[in-house]
Structure 1
Amino acid sequence: MKALETRYVERLADLYPTIAAASTEIINLQAILNLPKGTEHFITDVHGEYEAFAHVLKNGSGSVRRKIDEVFGNTLSQRDKKELATLIYYPKEKLAQVKETETNMEDWYMIHLYRLIEVSKRAASKYTRSKVRKALPKDFAYVIEELITERAEINDKESYYNAIIMTMIRINRAGEFIVAISNLIQRLVVDHLHIVGDIYDRGPGPHLIMDRLLNYHSVDIQWGNHDVLWMGAAAGQQACIANVIRICARYGNLDILEDGYGINLLPLATFALRMYKDDPCSCFSLKGPQRSNQAEMETDLRMHKAISVIQFKIEGQTIRRHPEFGMEERALLHRIDHEKGTVTLDGKEYPMQDMNFPTIDPDDPYRLSAEEQDIMERLEQAFLGCEKLQEHMRFLLSKGGLYKVHNGNLLYHGCVPLNADGSFRKVRIFDQVFQGKSLYDALERYVRKGFFAIEEAERENGKDMMWYIWQSPNSPLFGKDKMATFERYFLKEKETHVEKKNPYYSFLEDSDVVDHIMQEFGLSLKDAYIINGHVPVKCKNGESPIKCNGRVMIIDGGFSKAYQKETGIAGYTLVYNSYGLLLVAHEPFESAEAAIEKGSDIHSENMVIKRVLKRRLVGDTDNGKEIREQIRDLETLLAAYRSGEIKEKI
């Protein structure tokens, strides 16, 4: 035995000090390999839509309802199944509603407690008892374990279970128990959650989604371009900060910053009201819900314009600071002719729709005024000092990355940058050239440097790289030739608004290119899938989310309300259980109140991508590979015990 291996086995012996202990663990691990694989749940591009996101987590994209159907089949009416599902999703709220109308709560409790116990038994059946025990709510752990575990030694099981349930009703704990077991069912129907990017921007509740994810039992996150933008802002990159505030202003969501994260926007508001006092800011109309208060609306418009101008200045500074980014054509302020009221793009002159720029010096257009500089320094300190924001970003860093290979699937948010011929695009990042997987790896390293690098120059490069990831044509998270923010605000000519997609999107039906991408990330070509977000699939126009004969799935179907007119639906989610892959198309979610009051759900259409003849087991997953390695290590320890190389610690 090599010295390093010997030291490792000796450390393993501390955990399993006897032959019996090591043998028992081997038997337990071998048993786990033969359990059905847990259900994976894939969600992307939630864009701050907290209520719809929370509901999809509660129902597991239909997983709860499928469990109810499995347990009760035709023995329950559709109405009763619907009521039971709503009870599982919103137990506290549903109980309050029932108590207002139900005349015999004892009978109601008896019926629904038994139904919930049966569903929880089915949901727990694919896990070890140890894993279920860890998931049990503390207050009712013993009782739930007794009720969902088969007890062969008890002769009169019905009487035993009745006694437990009747006692709970008698001592007025049935309601709390229903809440606990409903939450357990939600926990058990989904074993692991994948967020394939873009938690932030557009919708009003990204901070609430992050709070929810902080407490979720098992999750990974593939960063989207909007997430990296917020990460850059949290790291103190001023161009990212300006973009974050501008987008919040544009979608009427400044409350996210002020109330959700406690960022003080008063200096910006005061500056905007004074500087643009008589400016109608007509180019900066807001999207999303409109404020009822006219004064607040006008303040938002002026803040929107003020931060946009600041953004264009700071982005120009960033571009000039990094000529290696190759983005000089996106520095546009010096291309404005202030006398003629035009801007020159690609050699063509266009009239500007707004020329009121009191803070722009035509001779030095990218210089911030003294007041703008002071505002940005204050905002930078506010973002850096916001404890809640920093906690959320640390979570993204610990649970996330730019891509993930998991159980034979490749997950990423945007694209793999390609050339027009389908080959990997070579991208220079500072002094090195990357392509394909190496580009993803290099960019992720720079994101982490932006937070953790000791050398200031490396940390600053990392911060600026987060802005680059947000909008560079070579960024795998952006995937377009330009971000036409300036043009959309100031130019009416639609041809200037066009953002051409990377050739990647034209090769999604090309099996050779898809094979090349999979091989680049180390995937077997058999039973492998690319799971992708970022670009909304226009379902209403007949576009399919399933590409390349089912090997690529674009699961952004418009979860964000801002996209639902384009897509015609309210998002796709993907469920990968032991029976195969199921793509779920959602209709718009009305509200949690409607779900409780009327029993409405996110009505969904299911598309079976793949159904396996033989149920997939834990042994067929990445976790199964790790368990087999543990078994091999333990067998090495057993051999060392039996050969006398290591002594048992009895």
Structure 2
Amino acid sequence: MQQNEMEKQYLRILSKQFPNVASTATEIINLQSILSLPKGTEHFLSDIHGEYEQFAHVLRNGSGAVKRKIDEEFGNMLSEKEKRDLATLIYYPEERIRMIKESGWGNSMDDWYVVMINRLIQVCKAAASKYTRSKVRKALPKDFAYVIEELITGRRDHSDQEAYFNEIIHTVIRIGKAPELIVALSNAISCFVVDHLHIVGDIYDRGPGPHICMDILMKYHSVDIQWGNHDVVWMGAATGQLACIATVLRFSARYGNLDILEDGYGINLLPLFKFAMETYKEDPCDQFALHYREGEYDLANAEIDRKMHKAIAIIQFKIEGQLIKEHPEFNMDDRLLLDKMDLTRGVVLIDGKEYELLDCNFPTVNPEDPYALSKEEKDVMDKLRVAFMKCEKLQEHVGFLYRKGGLYKTYNNNLLFHGCVPLDDNGQFKDVELCGKHYKGKALYDALEQLLRKGYYAIDPEEKQKGMDMLWYTWCHANSPVFGKDKMATFERYFVADKETHVEKKNPYYTWYDKDETVTMILNEFGLNSPESHIINGHVPVEAKKGELPIKCGGRLIVIDGGFSKAYQPKTGIAGYTLTYNSYGFLLAAHEPFESVEKAVETGSDIHSDTVLVQHVDRRKTVADTDNGQALKQNIMELEELLEAYRTGILVES
């Protein structure tokens, strides 16, 4: 009885939106028809690492989706060069138009506009065909929404409309609006070709423009983000967590990217600069050489950056040591190495074995209390903490990561996460202790994500601090699903020559993830029981030049970090894997390095992609097969109940 009354109450609320039989029936027809439309294309990218130019280009070309749409529409009607030029126009409309004008077309520009606008209309019409007219209208740029809608929905093949269609185009050209229309059409095509974007972690670090990548993402029409360990450490820095701030600074210094913080985010690094130059003025800091890129780094800054690099690294080791001591439950005592140094003899004790130190100049390390910050170091970190917390742009970006992101996502029967699901040596879910409670599998992800959100949102100081410290834990702990290694051997890589100390052993997940029973166990743990479900993750570069494949377990698990970062490309041999999932199946693209926007615009060159069909579905996927389709079916069922209530007199039409 109570249930029936609740159902009636819900139907009364629903009736305010659909007040009569006609409006209810119309909505049922609308939703039912949407279910039969083809599934929209999903685009998966991972491990962008600040490579904003390549990232922007891959977004524009949809990992080849735009070119495939052009091929489908024009086939042999256009030459390969014409199709390539059209694709370049869609990727970079403003730059391409400027180049065409400068190349001597002169009085023939109007003819070029006519040809290109007609071709863009054809591509746009095809790309928009899998969506409702309502969705297409909402996606169109406001200034040209009416014009584009008329152009892509009109019937030019009918003589009654041909003159109308042509007049729209000629009028646009005559009043000087052709460039704007081309830009609007190009943007609309990019939007329609890819319905939804998944970023499977690591937007930050190594490359020169993570802040630019974030600006691009914040304008993207539909996106979700699975946090990577490099994202998490920046999220921690934004909360004011000192170990995370020091790590972000060290990474930026290591890759010659301190200008990201100074110019990109407006964070004042003068306190660190002054401290480093004074403390290490006689120290060449040779162990802190930068991983800069030829032609993209001013070598005049190298000595300064090396000193800042060393200064923040020592501060990082001290703050991390304090944190490890404050949290014995982290079980990270093996990372306490400053107190294992004997600077008189020039050695350090690691795992019971002595190693020679490559650098013995530690002027700020007090042997009696090696993890204590000096007064000057504390002053530097206090100022940096305020700068990070008050940086409006960083807070805006991190807020977006929290709103659009999480540690994992299930979407259309696929499981997305950045690193791994921690397993034990037997291939079973590893039992992990967090804040006095034990978790494994999905429960570990859920508990950890809740703690990370507290680090940003909690009001209670104790809860907030706990969450802030867990952000650092998630960055580098052996049990962190986004790190997935037994340790982070940062100290050893700087100060010990013996490479056996540099080894970071991967979690057993990476031993077991090629086995069908393991993948099935993980998918089932996250509520995915379909034989068509996949795991999609990044984090670990795929060494393609050694013959390693990104497709694991017969295609049920796909690793899409192939080396987007230029720092990894010598190791991987490629410039990243990306994945698309359209109504016909999964397509994996292996990219070659992106040279420049200028070359792409000038020559029509694209990132060459070797595309591999991972899975071709037996039946073309429709909206009914998606998560959104399930929600629409539920809406239809409720609307049919409302319709029945009107027809049986339970509710009265308005």
- TM-score, structure 1 normalization: 0.98
- Decide whether aligned partners of structure 1 residues 161 and 293 sit closer, same or farther in structure 2, where only a CA change above 3 A counts: closer
- Decide whether aligned partners of structure 1 residues 573 and 295 sit closer, same or farther in structure 2, where only a CA change above 3 A counts: closer
Residue 627 (1) aligns with residue 629 (2): no
Contact 2:589 2:609 in 1 (8 A): yes
Q: How far has the Cα of 1:173 moved from its partner?
A: 1.2
What residue in structure 2 maps to residue 115 of structure 1?
119
What residue in structure 2 maps to residue 230 of structure 1?
234
Deviates further, 473-482 or 96-105: 96-105
For residues 394-409 of structure 1, the aligned pairs below 5 Å read 394-409=399-414
Residue 282 (1) aligns with residue 302 (2): no
Residues 397-427 of structure 1: CA deviation (Å, up to 9, x unaligned): 1100000011110000000111111011100
For residues 303-452 of structure 1, the aligned pairs below 5 Å read 303-452=308-457
Q: Distance in 1 between matches of 2:14 and 2:617?
A: 38
Residue 105 (1) aligns with residue 109 (2): yes
Letter in 2 for 1:25: E
What residue in structure 1 maps to residue 150 of structure 2?
146
Contact 1:401 1:444 in 2 (8 A): yes
Contact 2:536 2:559 in 1 (8 A): yes
Q: Distance in 2 between matches of 1:47 and 1:354?
A: 30
Q: How far has the Cα of 1:289 moved from its partner?
A: 2.5
- Decide whether aligned partners of structure 1 residues 189 and 197 sit closer, same or farther in structure 2, where only a CA change above 3 A counts: same
What residue in structure 2 maps to residue 244 of structure 1?
248
Residues 137-160 of structure 1: CA deviation (Å, up to 9, x unaligned): 111111111110045996423222
Q: Distance in 2 between matches of 1:343 and 1:627?
A: 63
Q: Distance in 2 between matches of 1:180 and 1:153?
A: 24
Q: Distance in 2 between matches of 1:498 and 1:327?
A: 16
What residue in structure 2 maps to residue 18 of structure 1?
20
What residue in structure 1 maps to residue 191 of structure 2?
187
What residue in structure 2 maps to residue 469 of structure 1?
474
Residues 175-234 of structure 1: CA deviation (Å, up to 9, x unaligned): 111111111111110000000000000001000110111110000000000000000000
Q: How far has the Cα of 1:581 moved from its partner?
A: 0.5
Contact 1:515 1:525 in 2 (8 A): no
Q: Distance in 2 between matches of 1:402 and 1:630?
A: 29
Q: Distance in 1 between matches of 2:530 and 2:625?
A: 16
One of 52, 56, 59 as aligned partner of 1:50: 52
Q: How far has the Cα of 1:295 moved from its partner?
A: 4.8
Q: How far has the Cα of 1:105 moved from its partner?
A: 1.0
What residue in structure 2 maps to residue 504 of structure 1?
509
Residues 596-634 of structure 1: CA deviation (Å, up to 9, x unaligned): 111111110000011123211000111100000111111
One of 197, 208, 213 as aligned partner of 1:209: 213
SS at match of 2:26: helix
Q: How far has the Cα of 1:364 moved from its partner?
A: 0.2
Contact 1:343 1:350 in 2 (8 A): yes
For residues 590-605 of structure 1, the aligned pairs below 5 Å read 590-605=595-610
For residues 507-522 of structure 1, the aligned pairs below 5 Å read 507-522=512-527
- Decide whether aligned partners of structure 1 residues 292 and 120 sit closer, same or farther in structure 2, where only a CA change above 3 A counts: closer
Q: Distance in 1 between matches of 2:109 and 2:366?
A: 73
Q: How far has the Cα of 1:359 moved from its partner?
A: 0.6
Gaps of 5+ in 2: none
Residue 548 (1) aligns with residue 553 (2): yes
Contact 1:64 1:85 in 2 (8 A): yes
SS at match of 1:114: helix
Letter in 2 for 1:194: H
What residue in structure 2 maps to residue 576 of structure 1?
581
Letter in 1 for 2:280: Y
Q: Distance in 2 between matches of 1:558 and 1:295?
A: 29
SS at match of 2:567: helix
Q: How far has the Cα of 1:515 moved from its partner?
A: 1.0
Q: Distance in 2 between matches of 1:519 and 1:406?
A: 14
Contact 2:156 2:165 in 1 (8 A): no
- Decide whether aligned partners of structure 1 residues 295 and 594 sit closer, same or farther in structure 2, where only a CA change above 3 A counts: closer
Q: How far has the Cα of 1:7 moved from its partner?
A: 2.6
Q: How far has the Cα of 1:454 moved from its partner?
A: 2.3
Q: Distance in 1 between matches of 2:342 and 2:89?
A: 63
Contact 1:239 1:467 in 2 (8 A): yes
Deviates further, 635-644 or 562-571: 635-644
Q: Distance in 2 between matches of 1:513 and 1:629?
A: 33
Residues 16-36 of structure 1: CA deviation (Å, up to 9, x unaligned): 122111111111000100000
SS at match of 2:76: coil
Residues 445-492 of structure 1: CA deviation (Å, up to 9, x unaligned): 000010112221111010000100011011111100110000000000
Deviates further, 8-17 or 421-430: 8-17
What residue in structure 1 maps to residue 647 of structure 2?
642
Gaps of 5+ in 1: none
What residue in structure 2 maps to residue 485 of structure 1?
490
Q: How far has the Cα of 1:339 moved from its partner?
A: 1.5
For residues 120-139 of structure 1, the aligned pairs below 5 Å read 120-139=124-143
What residue in structure 2 maps to residue 199 of structure 1?
203
Q: Distance in 2 between matches of 1:110 and 1:102?
A: 13
Contact 1:338 1:362 in 2 (8 A): no
Contact 2:50 2:213 in 1 (8 A): yes
What residue in structure 2 maps to residue 260 of structure 1?
264
Residues 46-85 of structure 1: CA deviation (Å, up to 9, x unaligned): 0000000000010000011001000000010000001000
Across the aligned residues of Structure 1 and Structure 2, the Cα RMSD in angstroms comes to 1.3
Q: Distance in 1 between matches of 2:341 and 2:156?
A: 82
Q: Distance in 2 between matches of 1:235 and 1:315?
A: 16
Q: Distance in 2 between matches of 1:289 and 1:572?
A: 22
Residues 78-114 of structure 1: CA deviation (Å, up to 9, x unaligned): 0000100011110011001111221411211111111
Contact 2:430 2:441 in 1 (8 A): yes
Residues 155-180 of structure 1: CA deviation (Å, up to 9, x unaligned): 42322211111111111111111111
- TM-score, structure 2 normalization: 0.98
Q: Distance in 2 between matches of 1:342 and 1:369?
A: 23
Letter in 1 for 2:239: A
Residues 255-288 of structure 1: CA deviation (Å, up to 9, x unaligned): 1101111111000000000000010000000002
Q: Distance in 1 between matches of 2:588 and 2:132?
A: 27
Q: Distance in 1 between matches of 2:7 and 2:572?
A: 56
Contact 2:42 2:581 in 1 (8 A): yes
Contact 1:225 1:470 in 2 (8 A): yes
SS at match of 1:97: helix
Contact 2:256 2:297 in 1 (8 A): no
SS at match of 1:606: strand
One of 35, 38, 43 as aligned partner of 1:36: 38
One of 83, 89, 92 as aligned partner of 1:90: 92
Aligned length: 649
One of 65, 68, 73 as aligned partner of 2:67: 65
SS at match of 1:633: helix
Residue 80 (1) aligns with residue 82 (2): yes
Contact 2:585 2:615 in 1 (8 A): yes
One of 528, 532, 539 as aligned partner of 2:537: 532
SS at match of 1:530: strand
What residue in structure 2 maps to residue 495 of structure 1?
500
SS at match of 1:628: helix
Q: Distance in 1 between matches of 2:549 and 2:51?
A: 23
SS at match of 2:148: helix
